[in-house]
Amino acid sequence: MSKVNTTNRTIKTLAFLSLSLVLGACGQSATTTPSMGSGQQGIKMPSSLRNTSQTPGKWFVELAGDPTGLTAQSVSGQQTGFRAQAVAQGIKYTEVQSYDTLFNGFSVEATGAEINRISRMPGVIGVYPVRRVDAPRTTISPNSLAAPEMYYAKGMTGADIAQNELGLTGKGVKVGVIDTGIDVDHPAFKGRIVAGYDFVGDDYGKDGKYVPVPDNNPDDCAGHGTHVAGIVGGNVASNGFKGVAPEVSFGAYRVFGCEGSSYDDVILEAMERSVKDGMQVVNMSLGSAFDDWAETPLAKAGNRMIKKGVILVASAGNSGGDGQYSMGGPTMGDSVISVASVDNVKVDLAAFTLSDGSKIGYYPATGAPAPKKGTTLPITKGPKGSPTVANDGCDPYAANSLTGKAVLIRRGTCSFYIKATNAQKAGASAMVLYNNAAGYISPTVEGDPPITIPVVSVSDVDGAKIDGLIAGGVSMTFDGGQLTIANPTANASSSFSSYGMSAELELKPDIGAPGGNIYSTYPLNAGDGSGYAVLSGTSMASPHVAGAVALILQAYPKTQPKDMRGLLMNTASLRWYLNNGTLLTGLPDYVQRQGAGMVNIVGAYSNTVSATPSKLSLGESAAFATRNKVIVLKNTGARREVYTAFNYPALTVAGTTLAPTPNQSYATMTINGKNADADAGVEVVVPPFSEVELNVVVSPPAAAPDKAQYGGYVNLVSTTSPSLVVPYAGFKGDYQSLQSLGDLIIGGTKYNAPLLADDGDDALYPEGAATTTMPDYTFKPVEVTYSDGTKDTVMDAPYLAANFAHQVRTLTFDLLDGNGAVVDTLAKEEYLARNCTNDLSKQSDSCDALSLFKWDGKLTGGKDAPAGVYSLRLSALKPLGDPSNPAHTEVYTSQKFKVLR
């Protein structure tokens, strides 16, 4: 069917591309769940599961009442009352921080048993784990251009026109940056940091220790925040560098140390302070992945910032490689502007020179030393090496077989760290990694032991070229060269950009901006010392939009925070699907990955017709086979506007949560009772200073696979004014059919999960497995020698290992007696995140495969549970589930076990 895009150009017929789409996502290999016979006592426990620590955790405690609607006295009185009640009830906890501006409550340290008691106190409406937020991972390209600027990205958003032709600079607008701080000595920010605070200090997070040492100097020693601030509005007269809004004033709020992570409670402090400091816009290029709820503390706080008159812009996250429903953190706030990433049109790369004289651009790997300038190495490859092999470098090489050479290795199957380790052990002096898909990658090879040889990554095309030269002899020289090349993935959604929708099927992300390969400011004493670097991430996309917001506020200072997102979304331009390196012009990428499309600053500035709501969340088709929505077009201009309205469907997200795949089954639509799928579209006239309603009826794609996410756009095309888009998205089928309690892959074998763990016996008991001898627990320290020969002293206590294959609305953790009756509710948690993976071998510091639910042998009141026979139960209410409908709750009950006293 022929369609028209938002730039008025007629697009070629898409005519069902016969699904020649090459599916880029890799699924989990199929495994068989082993039968646990009556004679089997359990499976051996991997070391990553030995964790029975009963040390206190950190939690948010939320009290009743939105602080934006209460007086300071009311909030203070509620919190004083809570403290007094806790003392009266003998509840043991440590208050870490109190909040009164965006959140009514505290962060506390408490054991699971104590936080369960707190959750039952009058006036407490929720307790939530304080989640660790990893420092955003980015890869630095060590280039130093003679006249650094954000050359290409500004042209993608229209920021260059806004500055040069419209005279917009963001002057008079205050933008807060909650991040790693800002380099206060960098000339890009001289005299423009008007507020700020360091909440943590340099050593926060170092060696896993999180002791904040705050001060008033938010200077950046990590780099990320300086890069983000440069995109928002850096300005260096001597070399021409300009960010999107080069005359804004900054608030710098440092929530990360020089290395390591931060925590939600620190970030919430910074959010509250930015409001008190009078910021008009706040950028948050951070967040916890998979925490896909609008009700989590930071998401709620984000919504309340908008109520306070502050526009919050946040990155959508970099977990696109981990599948659907992978967003999280403040970006999930209903009113927050959530920003996805689009790849830059050109890339500035470091380069090495081949012996044939050609230059090859590369990215250096994070976690490996930089190449030494002047080094020349012959290039070789392993016995399996070729541009078609899937597992190149995953098996050890022969001893000393790579000594003194650079080894070419193709991406695929195993981790970059494993490939680099194998190369290093075989004596390689460097590793050249090449992509198995179109374009470039920014690899990370961090691990223990560390990688000590340079690791660089090149494109698929350059890797194949080098592979073809090896037989005739080829060498490489790290000569400090650089290249500017056309980006093979230009204008496509970045592969790392996280997928929506939200756990409650709200359409997220909202909008896209350049985030792949962005050149911006960097601390003067970091990187290559030039003060500039190339980084990639949705972290880089979000500040483009924060800068755009500042420009619009300068032009239209009366714009309400609640209206800004719609203004930007209405005029965005669609991104096309990248299929195995080919951009399929006219085929919109998933709505769940790009939102409304690329931000268009000039379109937002010149538009006089708004479309409200700015997006349509359609829910599940099992509950609503056809959805009726009303869009109001409001014309604030003196000119009559005429549009042709179309249904412009985007790709459907099929496959599984962990391995999404594209599908070309599309929703159908009528507008005002007329067929919006037809080439002629539907004419819509909006008179001057008037409002017109569009009655939109969307029918989900009948041919789409069950559990797929579909989407598209109500596309309003004008020949005289900016065209408009309103994205829509929905779920095909019964949303409650998605499994929340998933299985676990351990050692390549899939097991029914959750599992009961017994550290003392070095055993795990999969769900439903029979036992010949009932496990027993003493709740005393015991010394254990494990099957791999390691020794440890552990607490002999039961706990459950659970994989969350999808988010969980309410998780109840119960203790049952031998007859299956509830003895005690040990914990109740709300709005849980899904796990990143279900395979323990893929677990890392930033990717969890499971969650642990521990019992210390005590009842809620603090008394020891008496000796006897018990079991543990998890009940998981699914997102949007009805608690009264048993089909909406998944229930797991462990094997029976004995408590010995």
Report how far residue 418's alpha carbon sits from residue 451's, in angstroms, rounded to the nearest whole number. Answer: 10
Q: What domains can you pick out in the chain, each with its CATH number? A: 57-133 (3.30.70.80), 158-345+488-602 (3.40.50.200), 346-486 (3.50.30.30), 747-899 (2.60.40.4070)
* Catalytic residue list: 179, 224, 539
Q: What is the pTM of this model?
A: 0.88
Tell me the pLDDT tens digit for each residue of 433-480.
999 988 888 788 988 899 999 999 999 999 999 999 999 999 999 998
Q: Is 586 helix (H, G, I), strand (E, B) or coil?
A: strand
Is the preceding omega at residue 754 within 30 degrees of 0, hence cis? yes
Residue 164: strand, helix, or coil: helix
Q: What is the pLDDT of residue 488?
A: 80
Whole-angstrom CA distances from 245 to 340, 885, 901 are 20, 52, 67
Strand-strand pairing, 337-343 and 455-458: unpaired
Q: How far is CA 369 from CA 409, 445, 641, in A?
A: 18, 10, 59
- Gap between the Cα atoms of 300 and 101, Å rounded: 12
3-class secondary structure, 591: helix
Q: What residues does 346 pair with on adjacent strands?
A: 486
Beta carbons of 474 and 405 less than 8 angstroms apart: no
**Residues 309, 291: Cα–Cα separation, whole Å:** 25
Biggest CA–CA distance in the chain, Å, is: 83
Buried-exposed string 351-360: b where 16+ CB fall within 10 A, e elsewhere: bbbbeeeebb
pLDDT value, residue 54: 47
DSSP state, 370?
A: P
Alpha-carbon span 540 to 514, nearest angstrom: 7
Question: Amino acid identity of 29?
Answer: S
Q: How deeply is 560 buried, as exposed, middle or buried, from its count of CB atoms within 10 A (0-12, 13-18, 19+)?
A: exposed
pLDDT tens digits for 539-566?
999 999 999 999 999 999 999 999 999 9
| Per-residue model confidence (pLDDT) at position 56 | 67
DSSP-derived letter for residue 846 is T
Q: Which residues, 6 or more positions from 409, have their beta carbon under 8 angstroms from its beta carbon?
A: 381, 382, 385, 392, 393, 419, 423, 431, 432, 433, 434
State the Cα angle at 236 between 231 and 242, rounded to 5°: 35
In whole angstroms, give the CA distance from residue 96 to residue 108. 5
Q: Which residues of the chain have pLDDT under 70?
A: 1-56, 137-151, 786-788
Query: CA distances (Å), 92 to each of 86, 88, 118, 131, 485, in order?
Result: 8, 11, 9, 21, 60
Rounded-to-integer distance, Cα 748 and Cα 750, Å: 7
